[in-house]
Structure formats: C-alpha cells, structure tokens
Structure 1
Amino acid sequence: MEMKNKYLTMLAKEYPTIGATTSEIINLEAIMNLPKATEHFVSDIHGEYDAFQHVLRNGSGNIKEKIGEMFTDRLTQKEMNALATVIYYPEEKTEDIVESFETQEEVHEWYRITISRLIELCRFVGSKYTQSKVRKAMPEEFSYITEELLFKDGTFTNKDEYYSEIIDSIISLDRGKEYVAALAYLIQRLVVDHLHVVGDIYDRGPYPDKIIDTLIRHHSVDIQWGNHDILWMGAASGSEVCMANVIRISARYNNLDILEESYGISLRYLSNFAEATYTGDPDSCFAPKIHPEDSILKEEIIQNTKIHQAIAIIQFKLEAAIIERHPEFQMSHRLLLNQIDYEKGTITIKGKEYPLLSNQFPTIDPNDPYTLTEEEKTIVAKLKEGFKNSGKLQKHISYLINKGSMYLTYNDNLLFHGCIPLNEDGSFMGMEIRGKYVYGKSLLDKFEDAVRKGFLYQNRSNNNKYLDLVWYLWTGPVSSLFGKDQMTTFERYYVEDKACHEEKKNAYYRMRNEVETCENILAEFGLDPAKGHIINGHTPVKEKRGEDPIKADGRMLVIDGGFSKAYQGTTGLAGYTLLYNSFGMVLVSHQPFTSPQEAIENEIDIVSTRRVVDKELERKKVKETDIGLKLQSQVCDLKELLEAYRNGDIPENGRTSFI
C-alpha cells in the first residue's frame, strides 16, 4: 500500500488536478478504440540498401494500395503510378517532372494538383491516428500549414479561398518541391507505424552501414539479431574469431570495401602479409564470388583471393582455442588441421581419407597446427584494434544492442531469426551454459545475455566467457541462429567430395510444418497457441520448387526477404515481407528490384503479390494490442488517482488556498 501511495503521489505531479486526470483517461480510452496501426516485417536484408529503401518507401506495396482505394475512379493507372513514384522518391521525381514542362504555368498547375492529391491521401492514411500523433509526425517547417490543410472541415466552404491561397503561396514562394517531399515522407511515415527487422542486416551486400543509418532515423523499429549480425557484433566486442569470420565472408563476396571505406578498418597488414605468403590462384576455391553485374580487375581478384585464404587459415586456428576451452560445446570434431597429412596432401574425416584440393599451408606447423605465427599474431592484434576503434562500427553495434534482441513477443506474435532448436522427438534441444542446462526460451535468454555482456564488458579481461558463446551462436549445433549440426567451412574449401559438405538441419526445420510443434513453441514463450503466429527469417523460401512460406496452417510465416542477389537464382523471387494491420495479415512476395534510377525514370515499382494470411472477423482495435494493454494499465492507475483526489487522500496541486 505504501508503494502504491508513493506511485500515485508521483503520478499526481504529472496530472495535478481532477480535470487533468479525467482528461487523460478520456484521451487514453478513446485511443484504445482506434484501429490497430500497421506493422511491417522485413528480414535478411544482407546489405542490399537500394532494395531495402524501396520496400520501406513503398510500404511493401501499401502506398500503392492506398492510392488505388482513393483514386481508382478518378485517375488512370499511369497517373497513379506517377503519384506513387513521387511519394517514393519525391525530390528526384519532382525535379524530373518539373524540368519536362515548358512554361511556369504548367509547373504551378502540376504542383497545385499534386499537393492537393497528396493532402487528400495524407488525410486518408492518417485517419486511424489521433490528430496529436499526426501533428507530431509532420515536418517542423511545414507543420502549421499542413495541419490547416489536413484537418480542414469539408462541410463548410467559408475557407476554401484560404486553403487555396496556402497552396498557391507555397508554389509562388518556390517551396513546392520541398513541400511535396514533406508530404511524401509524412505519407510514408503514416502508412507503416512500426517496423520489425527479423535479422541479418549484414554480409553479402555492399551497404549494411547505410541500412543501419536508415534504421537509426526510423521513427519506430525493433530488430531480432540474425546470425550474420551476431558475427559483426562479436567482432566489434573484441572476439578475434568473429572478426576473422567477418573478414573472410567480406573477402568471399568481394565486399572488403565495407571494412575499409565504410568503417575505416585498415586491412593493410593483412593484405601485405597475404601478398607475400599466398599465391592467389584466381581459379582456386578462395577466389571471390563475383556477381555478373559487377566489374572487377583480375589483379583485384588475385589480391582478394590471397586475403581470403590468409584470413581463413587464421580463423581455423582461432576456432581451435575456443573448442578446446569449452568441451561442453561438443565441437571437437571440428578440429581438422591436425587431421591433415601434409606430405600426402590428404585429410581424414570421420575415419575416411580424402585428397585436398590445395596443399598450400605455408603458415601451419604440422606438429603444432593451431598456433598462430608471429606475423599472424601481429595481424590479429592490428585488426582487433581497428574493429574496436572504429567509431562508426561501435555506434552501429551499440544501436543493435539497444534496439535488438534474440527474439520478441509482440501482439501475439513470436519473432526470431533462425530456429528454436529441437530434438528429433520434437522436445526442446538444450545445452549446458556456465554449469546450467537450458533449453527453449531460457536458452535464447542465456544467448542474449552473453551478447549484451560481451559488448558491454569488451574491455574486461574475463570477457572470453561471453564472446566464446557469441561465436558459438554463429556455428554451434545448439545455436538458435545457426540451426545445423556443423558448419563445414573447411571441407567446402578443401575437399571436392560433397558428402563432406553436408550440414544437417535441425529437426525444427522439418517439424515447423506441424501445427503441434508451432503451438508448443508459442506456449513456451508465453503466447496463446490458438491465435499466435511465429514469424521467422533466415532460410530462403524456394518458391520455384514449390515451397510455401505459410506453414502449419498459418501458425508459421517464413519471410526471408530475399534481398540478397546471391539467393535469387535459387528462390526464383526476391523474397517476402509481411504486413499486419487492423484487418489482418498480408504476406507480400516481391520480384527483384532493379535500381532507384529505373524506378524514378520509368515509374517501375517492385512487382509484388499480396496474399491474405489471417483475416480479422472484426477490425482489430488498439485495445487488443500490447500497446493497448499498457494503455489500459495506465487508465487503471489514473482512475485510482482520481479516486484518491475525490476521497481527499491526495490533494489537488492545482488548488489555490486563500487566507
């Protein structure tokens, strides 16, 4: 009771009178009866900034849908496409259109018509929010005039000339382009209220840094960490083996610029060492993967090949120390350098001998294969210093730590990137972490704790106990982000026999098709199995082979975004995103994105197909969401405060006393 009174006393400072308290109760109860706002789910962006930007700008087709609802009977398809492109790329498209006109009168007329249409659309997409929320979303420079135009009363015509004059003044003062952009970004902002990024911002594509900068500016977002994100998070936290993996993957996909140019991490020592130590055969398995659209000099391919091989060997050596430190990881079978016969050029794996594709191991002592040479130690130290001293990288990883998590429960949905590890009988697979056996939700909680502490304690001497587990998340058999029994990186480089390349998927990936499995997982995370969904990324859906992203009668939705060009030949499309609004869930499949230039010049949008997943029988309201539960809790507290005022238990601070 004492704690409750203290809380009410503190609440009274914010709502000091009966009038202020009742006003807020009325406000909150009204908000709870508004329609549920739209959530947008994306996954597996993999550095593809342009495609990601376009999907954000068009709201996975949501903006074009709204344009169709508003203007189908008044505009042609060409006019609607043009309006959509103006909203997606307002500055660029406006400039193109204005330059095409011959007279100033044509320019003024286009601005007048376009601004009127944008205001009308803005009013429509903002209709399910409070005026206060729409007002806060407005760009500051134009907030007053936008508020006047958006909230005008259409019943009376007394102010028609006033509204027309506002638009004419904007145009005559040469602010038309800026105002079109302000309205376009406001529409983008209102069409999607909250963004979920279900993992894998990093690797393969060239601009993960630009994607994170975009997310930092976003008004409302959460992130579930992916396996590739974890590598970068571990590297920034000081994990040498995560760092080696990051560099190896960047070299493999011809993407070392992200390290040097975007994050300012010097590779000079590594490059010089690789140049002097390895041959760099451009036909070897260490040659970078080059996309057909990319142009690259042969000399650059050779250099990347050498760097790739040098860092791969360093990685294999560094991994051994962790495996030996942690017998509970049960990964001793991944110690392969001591299984090589360096004279014969063969390796023994699971009792069978295989010839090696390359027998070039200039830095390995066959009698002590896992020890770094002095040069390799110096390189690792320099690289580690570079990762830890990159201000931009540290800022980005700090953002991922603060905004991200291993999983999220949100509005009856469970979001995670990889899997919930299962045994073959469907029970939760677990492992020992610091003396305690954990599985299911507790397993992911332990992983998350290690990731956070690994970053926060990066300068402590005993940080290895956290960072080793971060690396395990990348490659371990009970990792919820990896989901396979082993990662056969060495075999894929050095052994031709594909039987050695096999990485057996966790039983989860087979059993997630079953309703019972999904319901058990939902219950484990405290959600109602009857109405919850699992929203999962990580694995590309091979649609052209007949795979369905909707599994277990709609309980499971796999939305790997397919942004990465490396996957699109296998999947047959550019992946999926998901929209969840007051009417239900819609899965959106996308064809590959070409370029912003083509979208602007030719008004070509991503071709998207919408598929209803789960339709609400009655339109869902805010009070039925997680935010609604919080608002309801606030209303209960405010009603207690109101009762305390009326009973005289707490005096109204606004009262004036006269003597």
Structure 2
Amino acid sequence: MADLKYLELLAKDYPNLEAASAEIINLNAILALPKGTEYFLSDLHGEHEAFIHMLKSASGTIRMKIDEHYGGILSEQDRDDLAALIYNPQAELKRRHKSEADFNKWCTTVIYRLITICQSVSTKYTRSKVRKRLPGNLAYAMDELLHADDEANKNHYYEAIISSIIECGIADRFIVAMAEAISDLAVDHLHIIGDIFDRGAHPDQIMDFLMNYHDVDFQWGNHDIVWMGAATGNWACITNILRMNISYNNFDMLEVGYGINLRPLATFAERVYGDDPCEKFMPHILDENIYDPVSPLHAAQMHKAIAIMQFKIEGQRIKAHPEYGMEKRLLLDKLNLKEGTVTVEGKVWPLRDTNFPTVDPEDPYRLTPEEEQVMDSLEASILNSEKLQRHIQFLFSHGALYKKINGNLLYHGCVPMDEQGEFVDVTLGGGTYRGKALMDYLDKQVRAAYFSPDESQEVGRSGDLMWYLWEGSNSPLFGKEKMTTFERLFIADKASHKEPTRPYYKLIRQKEPVQHILREFGLDPNHGKILNGHVPVKIKDGESPIKGGGLLYVIDGGISKAYQKQTGIAGYTFIFNSRFMALAEHKPYTPLQPDGTQTFTSPTLQIVDTLPERMLIIDTDQGAELVEQVNDMKALCDAYRRGLLKQQY
C-alpha cells in the first residue's frame, strides 16, 4: 500500500504509460553521458575578483579549448583576447567599443568563435540541459546557433540569426550571455571546501555570485562557522568577525555590504582610546574602501576596543564551558599592569601595551555598561541584516561539515587524531564522539543552534558551539592547539605567537592514516581521495599539496593576498572530469588595467590520476539516484499495465 501511494504521487507528474516511458528513455540517455566536471576550491577569503576569474576561466580549461580549436588558426594574441572576452566580457566589450573601427564586424566574428567554444564545453550534456543553462529570451537563438553543425543546409538561416542580433542592437548582451554560458557549462558542479569569509574585501559579493550559481555546495570552514555563529547573535563570534575585518580595513563590506552599524563601536573607541596611538592595531590595508573610508588611526582604535571586548566575552564563555578545556586561554586575569607583564601557561612575558582602561583587575572579564550597550547594538544590527542572514541560510541549505561524493571525501580542516593516528574522543553536550560520529554530531548541533536553539543540546548562549569550532583545540575546523590572538596583539616576542598544529597534519604525510580516515567514512581506502583546505601550502619552501601517498590533496594554496608572500602562489583548483583528476596551480590574479586590458597567466595543470575508463554518469552518485528513478518509473509503468492505476490523458 505504501508503494502504491508513492506511485499515485508519481502519477501526478507522469499521468500515463507514454509519459512514464518517455522519462525512462530520458533518464537512460543521461546515464550514458560522460560524468560532468567537478571543481574544488578552498579558502577564498573574500577575494571576489580572483575567485570569479578562477571560475570563469575554469582554471585554464577554457583556454585549453581555445587552443584546441584555434591553435593553428588564430595568433597567440587573438587567442588571449578570446579568452579575456570569456573571462570578463563586460570589460573586453568596453575596450573593443573604443578600439574597433568596425565594431559590428568584430561582433560577428567573435560570436562565431564563441559558438565553437560553447559547443565544445557542452558535449557532455543533453540538449535540454544546455538549453536550461542559457539565458531566458536569448536561449532560442543561442540554442539554434549551437546546433548549426546539424543543419549544414541552412547556413543562410544561421547567418540571418547573427545579422539580426547585430541589427537589433543586442550584440553586447548576446556576447556576455554566450561567454557566461561557456563558463557555466565548463563546470558542472562546484565544491567550496571552506572559508569564504575574512581577510579579503568582499565575501558578500562571493556569496551573491554563488547564490546564483547553477550547482554548488559548501564544506564549512572555521572562518565560515564563526560568521554562522555571529548570525545567531553570539557575542564571542560577533567580536571575532568584527575584529578580523576591522583589522583588514573591510568597512565597505561590513557597513555597506551587510549594513552592520559600527557607529556605536566607533564612538566608544574614539572616547576610550582617543589618546592611545594603538600602534599594533593598525589595519592591514589590502584593498581600499570606496564608500566608507575610515582613517587608519580610527580603525586601530576600533580594532583595540573590539579586541578587548572579545577577550572579556571569550573568558566568560570559557568559564561557562569547562568541557571545552580552554582554561589556558584565560589571560586577562593574568595581567600585571604594574610590572607590565602577562603570564601565559606559567611563563611571564613583557607586554608591549599596558593601556587597558576598561579592564577591572577585580573582575577582568566583566564588560563595562558602555561595552554592554555597544554589544547590544552590534547584535541587533547583525540579527537584522537581511542580506547576511540570507547568505548564512544559503550556507546551511547548501553546506555541511563534510561531504562524500563520487568516492571522495571533502572537509575543510581535519579529523581530530592523536599521535598514534587514532581518532580522539571529544566530549560535548553530555556525549563522547570521535571520527565520523563527531562530525555528524557537530553538524546536527550547529544547525540546531541556528534554527532551533531551544531544542539543541547546547548549554549557555546560542552559538557557543560555533565559537568553539572556530578556535577549540579539538575542533575539526581549527586543527591547532590554541589561537594566539592576544599574544600577537600584546606581546612583541614572536615565540609566544606560535600555534602548534594537531597531530593530524603530520600524520597525513603518510598513506596509512589517510586510508584510516577513508575507511571511517565508508570509502575505498585505495582509490578514494580526500580534498582538504585550511592550511596554506608553502610552495616557496618546497611543500607539496599532495599528501598521503596521493590520497589527500590540500588545496588551500593562498588565494588570499594576505598569504601570497608565504605561499608564492594564489591558490589551487582540483579538477575531476570523466577522464582524469588534476591539480591546477594558480599565479596571483592581475586586476583589470586602466586601459581596459587584462593580463592572465594560465595555471600549471598537473594530472594526478587517470581513470582506466571514461567515467559515465551511471558510475557516479548522481547515476545511482537516477537508476533508482528509472526503477520507480518502471514500477509506475507496470502499475499502469496491470490496471492498478488509472491513466490520464
């Protein structure tokens, strides 16, 4: 009876034998197609221009298609120009409007070239899927042009379509749409393995872009989870995201992009720290603010004010959660301002700044009434930021702590392990968890903290668990013993700044621990791959992103400008198509030049695994789902034939 009720529901979409049979034919055709190309990126850190360029260029794949079709026909410069048009069509069109004597003739030429490249990247898809990726009113014309090679006897017809596009004055729109379709079709599925936020200027623009992307998922990073915690109103998370982004001068994003009102903090900081030079709190200016310029000194005062509030609030959370095991990070009560020192884990360090006007030595973790008012205002502003809450909800709906897909395992940080390679027991919420069970528990509780805090197992303020995941020593998203923010700000000696990594990062250099992780998550330990972000790969120091005997890939290559001096590169893309797996190593992104030209350096592509046979959709996780759908449709056909369900016409 349950099966029949399900078939009755299915019959609403496929009301007769012919409709159900047609769907079986369609599904079987899809199963026979080559697997689509998966792209894996990590640690975007607000670098919206570099990220969008990486994606639109398909990490050099589109340039390879251009060389494949036009290598012996067009010059190197012409191929560069065609690539630039696809990567950033608006900028290239603006340049061509000024430089082309016969702009319409140029448009005609490039439309034909774009059609060729679009045909090349769409060969893995059904015609209907390609049509769905094409933009609304232009889809018909684009679809006809893409299949011109099937209609050789209608050349005049296709020439007429292009002429009409030019005559109607929509060539610019059409070229932009065609370029975007090429980039969309070159990447079938996008995996973001954590850390969209912080450091870079515009994670908000990255999220806007991804919310309109055709197929994307996220594996949350520590920098994502702290924003997710802030979106619950958690003060420890709020102070962290504001301190980091004030320290990187990201006022346009905070106040204009997300509408977070920093005026109460700015007023408070100017009053309390107005005579403080705040030398060690000066912002790292990687990008200039356009709409909300703040002087470096005022930013430094705000940075110090929110940092002190952060240390107070974190101290409160540490005391409220002894199970977090973070008592060593209680440092405000270890200050000796008369001596100008602080004691950290039993060692006395000289302070380089002894101005703590809001810290009461008798009760150092208590916020002053004015600090309380500032935090109340900041919390209200974040909770009522419609755009921020929409972005966070998208991270929840399309994300998780980890993902298994097509035999591979994706996560941002680590799986907590001890020196012997065994999974660490972590006690939270009255239970003890390890390995996959720990990840599953945390994923469930993070969702509960945001959507139904009254039903979660969290003790204390909602979002505390997200703060723990941001910097707790057994957090799978952090992977270090401690976060030394206080030491970096107040102690000159860099020996105090060290943040020792967990055993995981040494263990993954060997094959056996990586295989142990794959087995824990139910994957093939000999052929499955782990895609991992979080820790920049220092290519300049000879470090390799390939770990665990070729079973684990660390793809945080440093897309963030803040890391590029350490890494020497600008990020990795991992590519998994129907024939091979490859690692693309990117050079730093060059912004658009004042004269409208664009300079792109193609990434270095290293094939790391070649498949013995071309992988079809039937061989993928999606294929397994489609096979189930075929079986359901066959059952529906059988019910129609046996008269168990009435056919509708």
**Structures share fold, TM-score greater than 0.5:** yes
Counterpart mapping for 1:105-504 below 5 A: 106-154=102-150, 157-279=152-274, 281-282=276-277, 284-291=279-286, 300-457=295-452, 464=460, 466-504=462-500
Where 2:609 maps in the other structure, the secondary structure is: strand
Partner of 1:35: 34
- 1:588-627 deviation digits (Å, cap 9, x = unpaired): 00110110347x8334213310000111121110011111
CA distance in 2: counterparts of 1:248 and 1:465, whole angstroms? 20
Contact 1:280 1:305 in 2 (8 A): no
Query: Post-superposition shift, 1:318?
Result: 0.6
Partner of 2:64: 65
Query: Post-superposition shift, 1:89?
Result: 1.8
CA distance in 1: counterparts of 2:572 and 2:293, whole angstroms? 36
Contact 1:457 1:463 in 2 (8 A): no
The one-letter code matched in structure 2 to 1:545 is D
The one-letter code matched in structure 1 to 2:68 is E
Contact 2:91 2:596 in 1 (8 A): no
Out of 516, 522, 531, the residue aligned to residue 520 of structure 1 is 516
Change (3 A) 1:75 1:299: closer
Change (3 A) 1:92 1:171: same
Where 1:190 maps in the other structure, the secondary structure is: helix
Query: Post-superposition shift, 1:284?
Result: 2.8
CA distance in 1: counterparts of 2:637 and 2:145, whole angstroms? 37
Partner of 1:47: 46
Counterpart mapping for 1:542-581 below 5 A: 542-581=538-577
Where 1:409 maps in the other structure, the secondary structure is: strand
Where 2:614 maps in the other structure, the secondary structure is: coil
Contact 1:195 1:222 in 2 (8 A): yes
Contact 2:256 2:292 in 1 (8 A): no
- 1:51-100 deviation digits (Å, cap 9, x = unpaired): 11111211111111111122212222111111111111223312322332
Partner of 2:95: 96
Query: Post-superposition shift, 1:459?
Result: 8.9
CA distance in 2: counterparts of 1:183 and 1:296, whole angstroms? 33
CA distance in 2: counterparts of 1:384 and 1:308, whole angstroms? 17
CA distance in 1: counterparts of 2:580 and 2:79, whole angstroms? 25
Where 1:650 maps in the other structure, the secondary structure is: coil
Query: Post-superposition shift, 1:204?
Result: 0.5
Mark the runs of 5 or more structure 2 residues left unpaired by the alignment.
none
Change (3 A) 1:157 1:432: closer
Query: Post-superposition shift, 1:527?
Result: 1.6
Where 2:279 maps in the other structure, the secondary structure is: coil
- Structure 1 residues 258-267 or 28-37, which shifts more? 258-267
Contact 2:537 2:543 in 1 (8 A): yes
- 1:168-215 deviation digits (Å, cap 9, x = unpaired): 121122222221112111111111111111111111111111110001
Query: Post-superposition shift, 1:292?
Result: 9.4
CA distance in 1: counterparts of 2:75 and 2:171, whole angstroms? 24
Where 1:483 maps in the other structure, the secondary structure is: coil
Query: Post-superposition shift, 1:473?
Result: 0.4
Contact 1:281 1:302 in 2 (8 A): no
- Structure 1 residues 288-297 or 334-343, which shifts more? 288-297
The one-letter code matched in structure 1 to 2:435 is G
CA distance in 2: counterparts of 1:220 and 1:540, whole angstroms? 26
The one-letter code matched in structure 2 to 1:497 is D
Contact 1:454 1:463 in 2 (8 A): no
1:8 partnered with 2:19: no
Partner of 1:585: 581
Query: Post-superposition shift, 1:441?
Result: 1.3
Query: Post-superposition shift, 1:349?
Result: 2.3
Partner of 1:535: 531
Query: Post-superposition shift, 1:296?
Result: 14
Contact 2:402 2:409 in 1 (8 A): yes
- Structure 1 residues 286-295 or 610-619, which shifts more? 286-295
Change (3 A) 1:206 1:157: closer
CA distance in 2: counterparts of 1:256 and 1:97, whole angstroms? 34
CA distance in 1: counterparts of 2:644 and 2:291, whole angstroms? 77
The one-letter code matched in structure 2 to 1:309 is K
Contact 2:249 2:288 in 1 (8 A): no
The one-letter code matched in structure 2 to 1:165 is A
- 1:18-49 deviation digits (Å, cap 9, x = unpaired): 22222211211111110000111111111111
CA distance in 2: counterparts of 1:281 and 1:299, whole angstroms? 17
- 1:357-386 deviation digits (Å, cap 9, x = unpaired): 111111111111111111111111111111
- Structure 1 residues 563-572 or 23-32, which shifts more? 23-32
- Structure 1 residues 383-392 or 11-20, which shifts more? 11-20
Where 2:573 maps in the other structure, the secondary structure is: strand
- 1:125-153 deviation digits (Å, cap 9, x = unpaired): 11110011011111111122222222235
Contact 2:251 2:294 in 1 (8 A): no
The one-letter code matched in structure 1 to 2:125 is Y
Contact 2:104 2:166 in 1 (8 A): yes
Partner of 2:606: 611
The one-letter code matched in structure 2 to 1:643 is D
Change (3 A) 1:388 1:157: closer
Change (3 A) 1:295 1:131: closer
Contact 2:251 2:289 in 1 (8 A): no
Query: Post-superposition shift, 1:298?
Result: 12
Give the TM-score, by structure 1 length.
0.94
The one-letter code matched in structure 2 to 1:649 is L
Contact 1:145 1:166 in 2 (8 A): yes
Change (3 A) 1:74 1:299: closer
What percent of counterpart residues are identical? 45
Partner of 1:657: none
Contact 1:230 1:473 in 2 (8 A): yes
The one-letter code matched in structure 1 to 2:631 is C
CA distance in 1: counterparts of 2:91 and 2:334, whole angstroms? 59
Give the TM-score, by structure 2 length.
0.96
- Structure 1 residues 508-517 or 13-22, which shifts more? 13-22
CA distance in 2: counterparts of 1:382 and 1:90, whole angstroms? 42
Contact 2:226 2:240 in 1 (8 A): yes
1:633 partnered with 2:632: no
CA distance in 1: counterparts of 2:152 and 2:414, whole angstroms? 59
Where 1:594 maps in the other structure, the secondary structure is: coil
Change (3 A) 1:290 1:296: farther
Contact 2:425 2:433 in 1 (8 A): yes
The one-letter code matched in structure 2 to 1:135 is R
Contact 1:198 1:417 in 2 (8 A): yes
The one-letter code matched in structure 2 to 1:532 is G
Where 2:153 maps in the other structure, the secondary structure is: coil
